Amino acid sequence: MARFKVTYRVTASDAAEARQRAEGIALEQTVEIPRDIVPTGFIEDEILGLVESIDTEDGNHFNAVISYSPETAGPDLIQLLNVIFGNSSIQHGIRVVGFDPGTEIRNRYPGARFGVAGLRKLTGRKQGGLIAPVIKPMGSTSDELAEIAYRCALAGADLVKDDHGLANQSSAPFQSRVVKVAAAVARANSETGGNCLYFPNLAGAPHQIMEQAMFAKHAGAHGLLVMPGLFGFGSIFELANEPELGLPIMAHPSFLGSYVLSADTGFSHAVMFGVLQRLAGTDISVFPNLGGRFGFTREECISIAAACTDPDGIGIPMLPSPGGGMSPERAAEMQAMYGQDVVYLLGGSLLRYGDRIGEGIKLMRAQLD
Amino acid sequence: MARFKVTYRVTASDAAEARQRAEGIALEQTVEIPRDIVPTGFIEDEILGLVESIDTEDGNHFNAVISYSPETAGPDLIQLLNVIFGNSSIQHGIRVVGFDPGTEIRNRYPGARFGVAGLRKLTGRKQGGLIAPVIKPMGSTSDELAEIAYRCALAGADLVKDDHGLANQSSAPFQSRVVKVAAAVARANSETGGNCLYFPNLAGAPHQIMEQAMFAKHAGAHGLLVMPGLFGFGSIFELANEPELGLPIMAHPSFLGSYVLSADTGFSHAVMFGVLQRLAGTDISVFPNLGGRFGFTREECISIAAACTDPDGIGIPMLPSPGGGMSPERAAEMQAMYGQDVVYLLGGSLLRYGDRIGEGIKLMRAQLD
């Protein structure tokens, strides 16, 4: 079986230490026993991770490529992630910066079911960025949230999403919220002839998520917002690949920040918000935009967008969705940076318009066109 | 409703910036809109996070206590974690270092069902540290793993656990492995009259976990090893609180390292491996021991053990379980440091004994007694 490869950026004082650390990762992520007692034969030849190459990045950082047999991952995404970074996540100075799935893992993980092309078809937005206002704040009633969604859809939003903090609070419980907001968006669509989509934020206990997702579909939702940092990437994969559900998935970065913020541990921004998302089947990947209240750099944001749309990535290209500090005033700058295939999240800046929220949507659309 | 409180260690250049950042967290984790457009009444008075206090830790770090209404969390652990640290995880210089659940959250989250007392009863080990050998390596057959488990149980191990890398690989698929290892441990117990427990590593896709857990119970497993970093803390809570299951839960730190390694982001070691585990219902919390191949300090390890057994914590005290680089030679040092209520994981050092693995167990027991 074609092995998959992970590139680890390893902190080490010299090439000899980098080699030693890479051999350590190859053991840690598979057999987890000392090298000298690894059984010969199948375990040594197939199961043990293999250091394929080590390149110097700078004096203290080395890029080590380690290959693994798909047999180590078994049939489940959770175990694949466990092999990629399970225990090595706990060691200082190891960061995952690249993933080459190889043919076997590509066959197992089809990637996004909708992606860029599918979302353009669903929204009817043939070109240009998609506008995605966020309904909030937490504590609002379902009726209040539905009214905001209605105004946004009427004004030409492509996609209305719940704030990721809207869960199952008594002010707007998941099921009643989804019913009311979906109906409001449908009413606006019937008035405009448009195809604004509604993505509720999946909420509930783990055993309820498929039931909640099916409820949302039958209530008229067009997709789902899901937080892999809290529900797990395995849940994204299940939702994306359940044939009876058939809804596009938008992933939210909540609880995932700690994986990218430290330069010497975790995952690179591109792997976390691009590569892993495509592996799991995400169609739209939300990430914090530069210049807002999150500290991502321009380079990091561009690397995420590139990983989302890379034609050589897993499955079909999907949509990057920068949010945080986004406003109509920044539309031109954002378009120059991200290009056409992007979903612009508009949150707090839009709510500032109050009842005239539609004006903000129209202004954003005009700026993008 | 009694509010719960989270202590954030905030990086800031002075007290004024610390105040500004704390007010920002209170918004970010709840309403997620600018302060001046937060609706008055219920949302401003109840939903919005409230900065209770800010203390200076040193010139660049401040401890900000923010309280939240249980209403923000709704009924689910996933949303409670989302309020504690969701989007703030993505901002630089914010680390969760304390959690005070308050009476309402304490009522909702009973904590460990077995804990220290329950595990002592199940194992019959009335005092002293528990010895927990790990069966591995990945790639071994179920029969080979069962043989190792048998020898360990025969020699007096208190608890045999699967390596966290044993999932659903074809060399030892979950169900056949559990059946064979559970039978081997039962055979050893019948010969010794002892009560060695077997904790298989939960494997499968998210929708299968309860079914897999029930299968393990019926096959004779006495508990479950679960990785919250990959299955989510919500799954730990469901497994711990399912009355028909009724098995103790041992949590493994795989994929969680990035939350603790950087001193200025994520969670403190005590919160991640103690407080959050007790909130979810974990009975035994595995963490990397000092002096092994992981870089945790003595102080960090002691803080984890203290959080696991703190009588004021959520629910009853549970067992800390240091692993990594553990060996009979270090037993005395470890006992002096951790005290009596601890589960010692023994992995690679024990497998070095090969067929004489029982000797290693007996040596460890002798050292502890």
Digit-coded pLDDT (tens) for A188-222: 999 999 999 999 999 999 999 999 999 999 999 99
Instruction: Please report the pLDDT score of residue B328 as a whole number.
Output: 85
Name chain A contacts of B81, Cβ cutoff 8 Å.
230, 255
Q: Tokens at residue B264, please?
A: 């200025």
Q: For every residue of chain B, which 3-state class applies, written as one string?
A: CCCEEEEEEEECCCHHHHHHHHHHHHHHCCCCCCHHHCCCCHHHHHHCCEEEEEEEEECCEEEEEEEECHHHHCCCHHHHHHHHHCHHHHCCCEEEEEEECHHHHHHHCCCCCCHHHHHHHHHCCCCCCEEEEEECCCCCCHHHHHHHHHHHHHCCCCEEEECCCCCCCCCCCHHHHHHHHHHHHHHHHHHHCCCCEEECECCCCHHHHHHHHHHHHHHCCCCEEECHHHHCHHHHHHHHHCCCCCCCEEECCCCCHHHCCCCCEEECHHHHHHHHHHHHCCCEEEEECCCCCCCCCHHHHHHHHHHHHCCCCCCCCCEEEEECCCCHHHHHHHHHHHCCCCEEEECHHHHCCHHHHHHHHHHHHHHHC
**Dihedrals phi, psi of B313, to nearest 5 degrees:** -70, 180
Neighboring chain A residues of B295 at a CB cutoff of 8 Å: 91-92
Q: Do A26 and A51 contact (CB within 8 A), yes or no?
A: yes
Amino acid at B203: A
- Chain A residues whose beta carbon lies within 8 Å of the beta carbon of residue B75: 168
For residue B137, whether the previous peptide bond is cis, meaning omega lies within 30 degrees of 0, is yes
Residue A326 has pLDDT above 90, yes or no: no
pLDDT beyond 90 at A146: yes
Task: Provide ipTM, 2 decimals.
Answer: 0.97
Crossing angle of helices B233-241/B209-219, nearest 10°?
A: 40
pLDDT at A113 over 90: yes
Assign A350 a pLDDT band (cuts: 50, 70, 90): confident
Is the Cβ–Cβ distance between A166 and B32 less than 8 Å? no
d(CA A326, nearest CA chain B) in Å: 12
User: Residue A295: its pLDDT value, please?
Assistant: 81
Interface probe, candidates B46, B78, B287, B290, chain A, greatest A C-beta count within 10 A: B78
Q: Tell me the C-alpha distance between B113 and B280, whole Å.
A: 11
Which chain B residues contact residue A235 at CB under 8 A? 206, 232
* Cα–Cα distances in angstroms (integers) from residue B197 to residues B51, B124, B240, in the given order: 46, 10, 17
Q: How far is CA B327 from the centre of its chain?
A: 22
Per cent of chain B over pLDDT 90 is 92
Across the interface, do B167 and A30 touch by the CB < 8 Å criterion?
Answer: no
d(CA A96, CA A270): 10
Q: Cβ separation of A238 and B24 shorter than 8 Å? A: no
**What pLDDT, on a 0 to 100 scale, did the predictor assign at position A112?**
98
| pLDDT for res B193 | 97
CA-based nearest distance A197→chain B, Å: 22
For chain B, report the end-to-end CA distance as a whole number of angstroms: 48
- Encoded amino acid at A80, one letter: L
- Residue A147: C-alpha distances to residues A209, A221, B272 (Å): 26, 16, 40
Which residues are bridge partners to A321 per DSSP?
A286
Residues 6+ away with beta carbon under 8 Å from B3: B50, B67, B68, B69, B70, B102
Find the CB nearest A31 among B78, B83, B138: B138
C-alpha B281/C-alpha A287 separation (Å) is 31
Q: Note whether B230 contacts A231, CB cutoff 8 Å.
A: no
Which range is least confidently modeled, A229-243, A318-332, B113-127? A318-332
pLDDT score of A59 more than 90:
no
Gap from A107 CA to chain B (nearest CA, Å):
17
Asked if A136 and B237 come within 8 Å (Cβ–Cβ), the reply is: no
Q: Among residues of chain A, what percentage have pLDDT more than 90? A: 92
Distance in angstroms (rounded) separating the CA atoms of residues B361 and A309: 53
A230 and B81 within 8 Å at the Cβ level: the answer is yes
Say yes or no for a CB contact (<8 Å) between B227 and A82.
yes
Helix (H, G, I), strand (E, B) or coil at A360: helix
Subunit contact B138:A43, Cβ cutoff 8 A: yes
User: Of B166, B130, B126, B127, whose CA–CA distance to B146 is shortest?
Assistant: B166
Cα A341 from chain centroid? 15
Q: What is the reported pLDDT for B349? A: 82
Could A79 and B206 be called an inter-chain contact, meaning their C-beta atoms sit closer than 8 Å? no
By CA distance, what is A208's nearest residue in B? Answer: B207
Whether B139 sits inside 8 A of A46 (CB atoms) is yes
> In chain B, positions 256-315, which contact chain A (CB-CB < 8 Å)?
256-262, 265-267, 288, 293-295
Burial of A310 from C-beta contacts in 10 A (0-12 / 13-18 / 19+): middle
Count of alpha carbons within 13 angstroms of residue A322, beta-carbon side: 33
pLDDT at residue A328, rounded to an integer: 85
CA-CA distance, B22 to B32, in Å (whole number)? 13
Residues of chain B with Cβ-Cβ distance to A227 below 8 Å are 78, 82, 86
| Amino acid in position B111 | G
Secondary structure (DSSP) of A69-134: -HHHHTT-HHHHHHHHHTGGGGSTTEEEEEEE-HHHHHHH----SSHHHHHHHHH---SS-EEEEE
Say if CB B265 and CB B89 are below 8 A apart: yes
pLDDT exceeds 90 at position A351: no
Instruction: Kindly report the nearest CA distance between residue B205 and chain A, in angstroms.
Output: 6
CB A341 within 8 A of CB A112: no
* Dist CA B347 CA B344 (whole Å): 10
Phi-psi region of A39 (alpha: psi -120 to 50; beta: other; left: phi over 0): beta
The answer to whether B203 contacts chain A (CB < 8 Å) is yes
Residues of chain A contacting B72 with CB distance shorter than 8 Å: 138, 165, 169
CA-nearest residue of chain A to B352?
A: A37
Is the predicted pLDDT of residue A47 greater than 80, yes or no? yes
Note whether B39 contacts A85, CB cutoff 8 Å: no
| Encoded tokens for A214 | 């099916």
Pairing state of beta strands B284-288 and B249-251? parallel
Alpha carbon of B190: minimum distance to chain A alpha carbons (Å): 30
Q: Which of residues 314-353 of B touch A (CB under 8 A)?
A: 347-348, 351-352
Helix, strand, coil share (%) of chain A residues, nearest 5: 45, 20, 35
Tokens of A278: 């495509």
Instruction: Tell me which DSSP letter residue A289 carries.
Output: P
Torsion of CA B369, B129, B185, B355, to 10 degrees: -60
Q: CA–CA separation, B52 vs B64, rounded Å?
A: 8
Amino acid at B290: L
Which residues are within 8 A (CB) of A206 and not within 5 positions of it... i.e. 6 or more apart? A231, A235, B78, B206, B209, B231, B232, B234, B235, B238
Residue A28 has pLDDT above 90, yes or no: yes
Q: Mutate which of A30, A164, A258 to disrupt the B interface (most B C-beta within 10 Å)? A: A258
Contact between residue B138 and residue A72 where contact means Cβ atoms under 8 Å apart: yes
Q: Which residues pair with A112 in a beta bridge?
A: none
Q: Name, in order, each residue with C-beta under 8 angstroms of B150's C-beta and a sequence gap of 6 or more.
A: B184, B185, B187, B188
Among partner residues A42, A82, A354, which is closest to B255 by beta-carbon distance? A82
B265: nearest CB among A43, A77, A261 = A261
Is the model's pLDDT at A173 over the cut of 90? Answer: yes
CB atoms within 10 A of CB B55: 12
In this structure, how many other beta carbons lie within 10 angstroms of the beta carbon of residue B110? 15
Interface test with A, best of B82, B176, B252, B351 (most A CBs within 10 A): B82
Regions of chain B short of the pLDDT cut 50: none
> Amino acid identity of B229?
G
- A141 near B CB under 8 A: no
Residue type, B176: S
Q: Do A293 and B28 touch (CB under 8 A)?
A: yes
Read off the tokens for B305: 């053990």
Chain B positions in Cβ-Cβ contact with residue A232 (cut-off 8 Å): 206, 230-232, 235
| A184 pLDDT tier (thresholds 50, 70, 90) | very high
Q: Which residues of chain B have a CB within 8 Å of the CB of A167?
A: 73-74, 76, 78-79, 82
pLDDT of B27 = 97
Per-residue model confidence (pLDDT) at position A225: 98
Q: Give residue B140's identity as a one-letter amino acid code.
A: S
Tell me if A295 and B91 make a contact (CB, 8 A cut-off): yes
Record: contact B32-A347, CB cut-off 8 A: yes
Question: pLDDT tens digits, residue range B108-121?
Answer: 999 999 999 999 99
In a mutational test of the A interface, the residue from B27, B46, B214, B261 whose CB has the highest number of chain A CBs within 10 Å is B261
CB contacts < 8 A, A to B, total 301
User: Looking at the predicted structure, is the pLDDT value of residue A329 above 90?
Assistant: no
| pLDDT exceeds 80 at position A20 | yes
Q: From the list B136, B207, B347, which residue is nearest A210 (CB)?
A: B207
pLDDT > 70: percent of chain A: 100
φ, ψ of residue A62 in degrees (nearest 5)? -130, 140
pLDDT at A32: 95
Query: Does B231 lie at the interface with A, CB-CB under 8 angstroms?
Result: yes
CB atoms within 10 A of CB B103: 12
